[in-house]
């Protein structure tokens, strides 16, 4: 039988150190933002002659490097690809967001014309057919919406847990369940984000985009789901064994009863995500990597963080289950 409560300080301090590492990474590592998170442009060019895409790509990369030298490295990255079944290519350029929006927009326009000039040097048939410019305000809107959604979700989860676990036992407030659940959510989101950002050091192609934000919101839902399973088992065991067992024994028993279920669920999901990561389109890899990190830490936190913290919040309290008062016939007042 796994005795989590006995070794709770090892598990909790391990999680605390991992969270510190993740926070350090998030705070001090530069954001590696994708095009939907920065000011970016997408230019579509038509042509009539044959082209060498690799040669054009090399020329545009050199153009980006030259432009950055005189403009404080404002361009983050540039990509070029051809449109299937059409004589068109698309050039996407994303810029570091700066406070001076006028300078940013001027750089976008200037660089777009330099792209056209570079392309026509190789092939005079090139012409600009479409130009899309995403402003910095789009990223600001995404950030505000993401934060608002996050806080609404956290408040809703707290109220739900406080209501669901109200009246579990005398002297164990339902607020302790809600607070522990929020701490666990914080742990999962921060650690998954930190390790994802740490991945950039070795794989710069993994960037923060709208899929990343979607992944974090997904983490909130599924993480709390597993934690509630453990809490629900603790609640049931308190009701049935409160007179014969102590709180630490009840929590350990609950963890061991749900351990197999948590591991099998996590492993099943982990292998599915791993398969998608390796065999599905490139655009989904970033989303899948965030979820893969989350599965590992979610499984750990629901067992080795949430339950021990719940014990710490209530270890000094006396357990006693609410009992319904039975009214006998002779106690009734007949008027």
Judged against a pLDDT cut of 80, whether residue 88 lies above it is answered with yes
With a cut of 80, say whether residue 300 has pLDDT above it.
yes
Q: How many domains does the chain have?
A: 2
Question: What mean pLDDT is predicted for residues 302-323?
Answer: 80
The answer on pLDDT for 92 being more than 50 is: yes
* H helix or E strand, kind and range, residue 131: strand 127-134
Asked if residue 32 has pLDDT above 80, the reply is no
Report the chain's mean pLDDT, rounded to a whole number: 83
Same-domain check for residues 178 and 310: yes
Q: How confident is the model at residue 147 (pLDDT cuts 50, 70, 90)?
A: confident
Residue 248 in any domain: the answer is: yes
Q: How far apart are CA 144 and CA 166, in angstroms?
A: 33
Which of 90, 114, 135 terminates a domain? The answer is: 135
Q: Concatenate the DSSP letters of all residues of 181-228 into one string.
A: HHHHHHHHHHHHHHHHHHHTTT-TT--B-HHHHHHHHHHHHHHHHHHH
pLDDT classification of 83: cutoffs 50, 70, 90? confident
Q: Say whether both 176 and 269 belong to one domain.
A: yes
Q: Does residue 86 sit in the same domain as residue 200?
A: no
Q: CA–CA separation, 199 vs 294, rounded Å?
A: 14
Nearest to 34 by CA among 207, 196, 286: 207
Q: Quick check: is 128 in a domain?
A: yes
Residues 56 and 180 in one domain: no
Q: Report the percent of the chain where pLDDT is more than 90.
A: 25
Mean pLDDT of 125-147: 81
Residue 303 lies in a domain: yes
The CATH number covering residue 286 comes to 1.20.1640.10
- On whether both 104 and 171 belong to a single domain, the answer is no
pLDDT value of residue 331: 55
Taking 80 as the threshold, does the pLDDT of residue 266 lie above it? yes
In a domain, residue 157? The reply is no
Same domain, 267 and 307: yes
The band of 135, judged by pLDDT with boundaries at 50, 70 and 90, is confident
Looking at the structure, tell me whether residues 59 and 188 fall in a common domain.
no
Side by side, the strands of the sheet bearing 127-134 are 75-82, 88-95, 39-46, 127-134
User: Do 200 and 303 fall into the same domain?
Assistant: yes
Is there a single domain that holds both residue 58 and residue 14? Answer: no
Residues composing the chain? 335
Same domain as 255, residue 182: yes
User: What residues have CB less than 8 Å from 267, skipping those under 6 apart?
Assistant: none
- When pLDDT is cut at 50, 70 and 90, the band that residue 44 belongs to is very high
Indicate if the pLDDT at residue 335 is higher than 50: no
3-state helix/strand/coil string of 7-48: CHHHHHHHHHHHHHHHHHHHHHCCCCECHHHCEEEEEEEECC
Give residue 19's domain range. 8-30+165-314
Give residue 332's pLDDT: 53
Measured between alpha carbons, how far is 31 from 329 in angstroms, rounded to an integer?
Answer: 72
- How confident is the model over 295-314, as a mean pLDDT? 89
The answer to whether residue 67 scores a pLDDT higher than 90 is yes
The predicted pLDDT at position 36 comes to: 67
Q: Greater confidence, 32 or 234? A: 234
* pLDDT, position 110: 94
Q: How far apart are CA 116 and CA 13, in angstroms?
A: 57
**321 lies in a domain?**
no
- For residue 333, pLDDT over 60 is answered with no
pLDDT(51) > 60 = yes
- Which residue, among 253, 326, 300, 214, has the nearest Cα to 15 in the 3D structure? 300
Which of the four pLDDT bands, split at 50, 70 and 90, describes residue 117? very high
| Greater pLDDT, 246 or 282 | 246
Specify if 142 maps to a domain.
Answer: no
High-pLDDT (> 70) share of the chain, %: 89
Q: How far apart, in whole angstroms, are the C-alpha atoms of residue 312 and residue 310?
A: 5
Is residue 70 situated within a structural domain? yes
Could you report the per-residue pLDDT of 170-226, keeping only the tens digit for each? 677 888 899 999 999 889 889 988 888 888 777 776 777 777 877 877 777 777 888
Say if residue 197 is in the same domain as residue 308. Answer: yes
> Is 147 a member of any domain?
no
CA angle 41/44/46 to nearest 5° reads 160
Residues 164 and 231: their CA atoms lie apart, in Å, by: 10
Higher pLDDT, 330 or 120: 120
- Angle between helix axes 306-314 and 174-199 (nearest 10 degrees) is 140
Residue 20 pLDDT > 90:
yes
Query: What's the pLDDT at 61?
Result: 92
């Amino acid at each position: 039988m796994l005795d989590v409560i006995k070794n709770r300080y090892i598990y909790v301090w391990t999680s605390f150190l991992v969270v510190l590492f993740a926070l350090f990474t998030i705070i001090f590592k530069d954001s590696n933002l994708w095009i939907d998170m920065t000011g970016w442009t997408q230019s579509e060019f038509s042509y009539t002659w044959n082209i060498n895409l690799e040669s054009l790509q090399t020329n545009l990369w050199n153009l980006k490097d030259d432009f950055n030298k005189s403009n404080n490295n404002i361009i983050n990255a540039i990509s070029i690809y051809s449109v299937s079944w059409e004589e068109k290519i698309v050039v996407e350029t994303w810029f570091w967001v700066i406070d001076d929006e006028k300078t940013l927009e001027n750089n976008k326009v200037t660089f777009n014309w330099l792209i056209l000039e570079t392309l026509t040097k190789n092939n005079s048939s090139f012409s600009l057919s479409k130009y899309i410019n995403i402003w910095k305000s789009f990223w600001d809107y995404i950030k505000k919406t993401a934060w608002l959604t996050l806080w609404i979700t956290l408040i809703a989860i707290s109220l739900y847990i406080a209501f669901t676990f109200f009246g579990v036992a005398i002297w164990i407030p339902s607020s302790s369940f809600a607070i522990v659940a929020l701490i666990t959510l914080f742990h999962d989101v921060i650690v998954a984000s930190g390790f994802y950002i740490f991945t950039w050091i070795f794989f710069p192609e993994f960037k923060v985009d709208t899929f990343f934000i979607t992944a974090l919101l997904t983490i909130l839902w599924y993480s709390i789901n597993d934690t509630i399973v453990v809490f629900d088992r603790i609640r049931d065991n308190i009701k049935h064994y409160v007179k014969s067992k102590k709180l630490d024994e009840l929590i350990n028993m609950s963890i061991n009863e749900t351990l197999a279920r948590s591991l099998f669920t996590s492993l099943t999901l982990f292998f599915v995500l791993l398969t998608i990561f390796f065999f599905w389109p490139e655009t989904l890899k970033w989303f899948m990597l965030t979820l893969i990190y989350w599965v590992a830490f979610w499984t750990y936190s629901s067992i080795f963080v949430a339950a021990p913290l719940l014990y710490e919040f209530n270890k000094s309290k006396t357990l006693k289950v609410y009992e319904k008062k039975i009214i006998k016939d002779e106690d009734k007042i007949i008027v």
